Amino acid sequence: MDIRDLKLFLHLAESCHFGRTAKSMHVSPSTLSRQIQRIEETLGHPLFLRDNRSVKLTFAGEQLKQFAQQTLLQYQQLQHSLNQQSPSLSGELRLFCSVTAAYSHLPQILDRFRAEHPLVEIKLTTGDAADAVNKVQSNDADLGIAGKPEKLPDNVSFTKIGKVPLVLIAPSLPCTVRTLVTQENPNWDTIPFILPEHGPSRKRIEHWFRHHQINNPLIYATVSGHEAIVSMVALGCGIALIPNVVVENSPEPVRNRISLLDNISLVEPFELGICVQRKRLNEPLIKAFWGLL
């Protein structure tokens, strides 16, 4: 077994889901299964009880989990100790953010960081910004760019890098949705909405619904990722409450097919920032990155 094997095993031991671990660790499910089988053959004991519905650790699996946690912690401590003795920081820093944040906020931060620490390898993964805190908590990312949730987990530190106002967008091309929303007194109960699955934007549109006494909104779809929501609005599927920065960074063909609406009262901007596990703030790479903020 090597460090990579232990990382794969430990992630699977915590997720108990082969597909989820394979995706997070960037291997195919078949490769993951073969590597786990190889570890089991090396130890001479099964590590997981598997059926069509669940994956559970065996007694040997629990023992190896403790060993893997201790070994990886010692390995990280060794890396940190060596990095501190080196004149320049090196290693890998894993960042998670939305596609929009990768254009709008990340470049200026990375420019400064890479200028000071050119030997650090940046590994960037993009996805739904609403998942950033969870990605950091599950160790799928070292740092994430996220909208600050209403309740920040106790084990997560957050530093603000900006404020993000929200806008209400509708299709600009002639369609049924455009006709409904441009009436003098729109009947909001009959207009389809496209919502984010979760996150700060979802909370704010729920507040907007309450303000406008929309008790049973017509939901066309719930979507993961703001960029996909903008595209669906551009196609005439509905309207949406969306961070303005997403609209500004959308491709021009999409921007030309949407327009902003004025009915956006009582919607507060949300804070955008970097999040990290609090206990990891003293790790050299994270400490260096955090210091630039």
131 burial class (0-12, 13-18, 19+ CB within 10 angstroms)?
buried
From the CB of residue 129, how many other CB atoms can be counted at a distance below 10 Å?
A: 28
Asked if 158 and 275 count as a contact pair (C-beta separation under 8 A), the reply is yes
Q: What is the pLDDT of residue 157?
A: 95
The answer, as to whether pTM is greater than 0.85, is no
- Going by pLDDT thresholds of 50, 70 and 90, the confidence category of residue 274 is very high
Asked if 96 and 125 count as a contact pair (C-beta separation under 8 A), the reply is yes
From the CB of residue 171, how many other CB atoms can be counted at a distance below 10 Å?
A: 22
Q: What is the pLDDT of residue 225?
A: 86
- On the question of pLDDT at 71 being above 80, the answer is yes
- On the question of pLDDT at 258 being above 90, the answer is yes
Q: What is the pLDDT of residue 210?
A: 86
Asked if 192 and 220 count as a contact pair (C-beta separation under 8 A), the reply is yes
CA 144 vs CA 38, 148, 195: distances in Å: 33, 11, 22
Rounded Cα distance between 230 and 251, Å, is 10
Asked if 285 and 120 count as a contact pair (C-beta separation under 8 A), the reply is yes
- On the question of pLDDT at 83 being above 80, the answer is no
